[in-house]
A and B are shown apart, each in its own frame.
Chain A
Amino acid sequence: MRGKYTGGDRVFRSLLFITMFIFGLSFLAILLWVITGSMRSSANFSKNPFGIFDITFETIAKNYEKAFTYKVGGTTDMFRMILNSAIIVTGTTALAVIVPAITGYIVAKYDFKLRKILTDLAVITLVVPTVGSVATTYRFMNALHLIDTYSGVFLLSAGGFGFSYLIFRNYFTAIPWEYAEAAFLDGAGNVQVFIRIMLPQAVPIIVSIAIVSFIGNWNDYYTPYLYLREHPTVAYGVNAIYSKYKTNYPVVFAAMTFSVGVVLIIYLFFSKTIMESMSAGGLKG
């Protein structure tokens, strides 16, 4: 191996390795601290934040019991928050796949009057920071009585021209149109071609977008913070548990560990699919 690289390359590679190692190690170390901390007693933790040999079944059970039974806002415990998260995540993830897939497909494969405008739409939404319109949106949602409702959150997330639209559009552009043309000659309709011929070829990117948006929605704090205060989700609940147990780190860690554990499992299962399918479409705006 030694002779493979020149001196300069060896220095460059070492520097890259060291920086990546420092970043990687810091992530793993903190994660390990949180996970092991969630299993220790509060008293032991206060004495020594680094210890790991004082973990017992009782200390684990005690922390997780506290984290899971604390009622956010006096009404919602962790199990209810998991249910809230499950409802929100299922709905928003489905919408994040279906709507952009349709818009991305049509803009990529059909020629029509509004096409040019719609192609630019994603760029416009990227370029104009509309954070200031949140006051107006909030008032609008309030007028429709959609604050603190699941349907309100679904409605907000049912757009078709966001980031995943870009990815779908680029992915569909790269898929050849020949099969579709053959199917049209056989008398297939537009819907049929889309569902039976084009969608199956896009399964990898659909899975990726679904996972990425699942993770994003599971982790989302902004939406429940603003639009769903009465129906806290797990991400919101973790911070609420911190506010309650500020000095009892192990309990806070237990809530954090649970919240991370869910996405970690999903990620480890699907990381290969995500990595592979992202390479097909690319990200050119």
Chain B
Amino acid sequence: MDKDRRAEKRGLSKKSKDAVFIYGFLAWPILHFLVFWVAMNVGTVYNSFFEISIVNGRTFVWFENYKEMFRFIFGVKERGILNWHGVLNSLSLIPLAVFINMPITLFFAYGIYKKVFGYKVFRTVLFLPAIVSTVVLCLAFRLALDSQKGIIVPILRLFGLAGDGSGYDTGVVPVGGWLGNDETMWGAILVFSVWTGVSGNIIYFTSSMARFPESVFESAKIDGATELRQFFSIALPMIWPTVTTMTITLVAAVFSWFMPSLLLTDGADRATTIGLMITQTVVVDENSTVICAFGVIVAVFGAALILSVRKLMEKLTTEVEY
């Protein structure tokens, strides 16, 4: 338009006009990336070698923050927010996501693709947790599990699995309720994350499956392959690139995952996660550089882990073009 006409007057070639367009429009996103991704991460590494206080300002402390962080994590030194439960909890979410949530999601998507009875209803209903906010899901789960006014305990009571709610005769319900008991709270959170983890990604799988050529399945059927067999030898290989991307996203999300811990247990020590420890520290003390050291370790370790997962998954199968 105007810009191009001006460019023409100046005798710019199509190539230079392209360059003006490309870099003109990419300037902002690139700048944003450089500031909020590159600079913030470099800044985190930099800060991790300093101590920052309002009184003394910045002091270079070598690896002191790293040592301190490991002391907290391995329980050598007591600290409310940073503890080894959080690291272990976060890591335990990885096998859960990869070996439970992902397969269930895949099978559900396959069921919808294969038009299992009621698939139209399932397609909408199973997507519900993806659109309902985590706050609401957490509160609903928390209140449903409540021993006094929830609905789970009365149902268990019907089967004689829970006491009458008075005293300590609580049956399968632990003292304080599942979310209030140190021993069971993380387990309850895992149940929550399976219950809600199936949902959101189903859309990517069903949509990838929608593009499958019918003919492949038809001929497999004629050859007598069962639908379960078709899933493993046809559907899964064809959908593998999406599975790989999804798995990487899920594993990466584990490191910042914290909402259910915060909202279901108010951030109890035994139910904390890496993401929650970092966020809560920032809320309490934005000048904490121990948390920067922790962040650096998480980034390095996490990236290595995620890259290995990616490599492994790419090796597992060769991509099928269709």
Contacts and interface: CB of A to CB of B under 8 A. Distances in A.
Interface of A: 5-6, 8-9, 12-13, 16-17, 19-21, 23-24, 26-28, 30-31, 33-34, 45-46, 49-50, 99, 102-103, 106, 110, 112, 114, 118, 121, 125-140, 142, 156, 158-161, 163, 184, 189-192, 215, 218-222, 225-226, 235-236, 238-239, 242, 247, 249, 252, 256, 259-260, 263-264, 267, 271, 274-275, 278-279, 282-285
A279 B210 contact: yes
Given A17-B118, A24-B122, A135-B278, A127 B33 contact: no
A102 B25 contact: yes
Given A8-B228, A137-B40, A126 B294 contact: no
Given A130-B41, A226-B282, A239 B135 contact: yes
B227 interface: yes
B298 A129 contact: yes
Q: Lowest 7 A-B CB distances belong to which pairs? A: A132-B295, A160-B29, A219-B133, A189-B4, A279-B207, A129-B255, A190-B21
Interface string B285-303: 0111101101111110011
A284 B32 CA distance: 24
B16 to A, nearest CB: 11
Nearest to B246: A283
B216 interface: no
Contact of A134 (B14, B129, B278): B278
Given A226-B282, A239-B139, A275-B203, 11 more contacts: A20-B126, A23-B108, A121-B33, A126-B248, A132-B298, A184-B14, A192-B1, A256-B140, A267-B131, A274-B203, A285-B241
Nearest to B112: A20
Nearest to A125: B37
Interface string B10-40: 0000100111011101101110110011001
A160 B43 CA distance: 21
Given A27-B129, A226-B283, A132 B43 contact: no
B98 interface: no
Contacts, number: 301
A190 B40 contact: no
A278 B108 contact: no
Given A132-B291, A135-B286, A274-B203, A222 B208 contact: no
25 contacts: A8-B226, A27-B129, A102-B25, A110-B18, A128-B41, A132-B292, A133-B44, A135-B281, A136-B41, A136-B43, A140-B43, A159-B32, A190-B18, A191-B3, A191-B21, A218-B133, A219-B132, A219-B136, A222-B279, A238-B139, A252-B143, A256-B136, A263-B132, A275-B203, A284-B242
Interface residues of B, number: 107
Contacts of B211: 279, 282
Nearest to A29: B151
A28 B121 CA distance: 11
B124 interface: yes
Nearest to B151: A49
Chain B CB within 10 Å, residue with most, of A129, A190, A259:
A129
A106 B25 contact: yes
Contacts of B84: none
A129 B252 contact: yes
A132 B299 contact: yes
A135 B23 CA distance: 31
A221 B134 CA distance: 8
A259 B135 contact: yes
Contacts of A128: 41, 299, 302-303, 306
B303 A13 contact: no
A236 to B, nearest CB: 8
Nearest to A156: B36
Contact of B249 (A50, A126, A226, A275): A126
B40 A275 contact: no
A173 to B, nearest CB: 14
